[in-house]
Structure 1
Amino acid sequence: MRYRIAVAGAAVAMAAGALAGCGGGDGDGDGREAAPARPVVVPGRPGEPNKTRVAGPREAAPPTAAEVGFVRMMIPHHAQALEMSALAPGRASDGRVRSLASRIDAAQRVEIAAMRSWLEQNSEAVLKAHGRGHGARHSGMPGMATPEQLGRLRDARAAAFDRLYLTLMIAHHQGAVTMAKDVLDKGTDVTVQEMARDVQSTQLAEIGRMRGLLG
């Protein structure tokens, strides 16, 4: 269970980092102030005059539309995992399935909070992405269970519930991994890249555990 606690702690740290300002801090991480911007002379080519440029810290690049889309879609994607996991305490017969569902619920609630904080702190990028048609398209998200599948899960009990929950959640996790892979290394925002890597690593590990339970 230690790995799940670490995931939750990392998500809280992400939220704190977003609230502290996603544009980056003024220091370099060891307590020293970053050097102020200053003009420097750059020698020109033969026959050309010298040029003056400003050297020093640059403002962090804004999040990309792909990163905004990833965060916006991952919130309802996680929300469906919470909906499915909330059924386990009263329906699952295997204590390991109930324990897994509880860990998924706890960790993804924290991750949703971190993602919502990030969206609030990057409202300008969110509006720009929305204007370009990069809104969250819930119906097109990979791994989402259909209303019919959710209905079958609500009606299932005991071993039948265990099998269906694990089957649907494996597909759900695989969809989240696909979404994370699509955004990895295609953006500039450190927080979102960390979120995507965390989703990829933790949900791949959970897929392995769920396949073991099914086996």
Structure 2
Amino acid sequence: MSRFKTNRSHRSFTRRLAVVAATAASAVVLAACGGKDSGGPSAHHSPSKSGSAAGASAGAHNAADVAFAKGMIPHHRQAVEMAGLAAGRASSSQVKELAAKIKQAQAPEIKTMSGWLTAWGEQVPEEMPGMDHMDHSGMPGMMSAKEMAALKKKSGKGFDTAFMEMMVGHHRGAVKMAGTEKEKGAYGPAKTLADAVIKAQEAEIARMNGLLGKEKG
């Protein structure tokens, strides 16, 4: 009888251990499920992964973005150089005002695009005094070294006319380059800048054409 009670107690203890083990296993399974679906550790980890992917996507760039920045930097530099000539050579206050506006807008954009290239591990186009502008003659709207030299020799109304005619062509080239970026680029800020370039420079083209029409009229 004593041996029977002992065996029964042993079986009872074994069953209790099994229940405890089963309960613990269930708790682990529930915790794992809860982690995926209701705020467990996995739930916290998942948004982090998702956020990183979203950030990478938002910051992604492609070859078109690089080409846009590398091309637009020297393009803008030449526009700034041309605009800088107006202060001492132009006779029209409207031309001087327009040139100052071009310089004020494009100089910061050069800095912005240079920052992108640096962040992407790309080389920023070098700026060299007396740069031969023929190096960029294949770029839409870029002036040759000969054209730039001729502009520097002008003053008064002759400068005003030459400056605006050259800048209209220069702006049209920039608009074309910006259009390519909007179509083929992937980097959001670059596409936004391209859109701003198109809007601003198309407005300036219209203004310069209006002033040229008045001069020729």
Equivalent position of 1:14 in the other structure: none
Q: TM-score, normalised by structure 1?
A: 0.67
With CA pairs under 8 Å and 6+ residues apart, which has the higher RCO, 1 or 2?
Answer: 1
Equivalent position of 1:38 in the other structure: 46
Task: Output the aligned Cα RMSD.
Answer: 2.1
Distance 2:185 2:171 in 1: 22
Per-residue deviation, 1:138: 2.5
Q: Residue 199 of structure 1 aligns to which amino acid in structure 2?
A: V
Listed one character per residue, the Cα deviations across residues 125-184 of structure 1 (whole Å, up to 9, x for unaligned) are x37xxxxxxxxx733110011111111111111111000000000000000000011111
Per-residue deviation, 1:110: 0.9
Equivalent position of 2:82 in the other structure: 84
Per-residue deviation, 1:37: 5.5
Equivalent position of 2:199 in the other structure: 201
Q: Residue 152 of structure 1 aligns to which amino acid in structure 2?
A: A
Q: Which has the higher strand share?
A: 1
Runs of 5+ consecutive residues of structure 1 not aligned to the other structure: 1-34, 40-54, 128-136
Listed one character per residue, the Cα deviations across residues 96-137 of structure 1 (whole Å, up to 9, x for unaligned) are 0011101111111111111111111121xx37xxxxxxxxx7
- 1:91 and 1:139, CA in 2 relative to 1: closer, same or farther beyond 3 A? same
Kept in 2, the 8 Å contact 1:36–1:56? The answer is no
Aligned residue for 2:166, secondary structure, equals helix
- 1:37 and 1:204, CA in 2 relative to 1: closer, same or farther beyond 3 A? farther
Runs of 5+ consecutive residues of structure 2 not aligned to the other structure: 1-42, 124-134
Aligned pair 1:96/2:104, yes or no?
no
Per-residue deviation, 1:75: 0.5
Aligned pair 1:108/2:102, yes or no?
no
More displaced stretch, 103-112 vs 162-171: 103-112
Q: Residue 202 of structure 1 aligns to which amino acid in structure 2?
A: A
Q: Residue 214 of structure 1 aligns to which amino acid in structure 2?
A: L
Distance 1:68 1:204 in 2: 23
Q: Residue 103 of structure 1 aligns to which amino acid in structure 2?
A: K
Aligned pair 1:151/2:149, yes or no?
yes
Q: TM-score, normalised by structure 2?
A: 0.67
Aligned residue for 2:184, secondary structure, equals coil
Kept in 2, the 8 Å contact 1:92–1:158? The answer is yes
Q: Which has the higher helix share?
A: 2
- 1:36 and 1:80, CA in 2 relative to 1: closer, same or farther beyond 3 A? farther
Q: Residue 191 of structure 1 aligns to which amino acid in structure 2?
A: P
Per-residue deviation, 1:213: 0.9
Flag the structure with larger Rg: 2
**Percent identity at matched positions?**
41
- 1:188 and 1:155, CA in 2 relative to 1: closer, same or farther beyond 3 A? same
Q: Residue 207 of structure 2 aligns to which amino acid in structure 1?
A: R
Distance 2:197 2:77 in 1: 14
Per-residue deviation, 1:187: 2.4
Q: Number of residue pairs matched?
A: 156
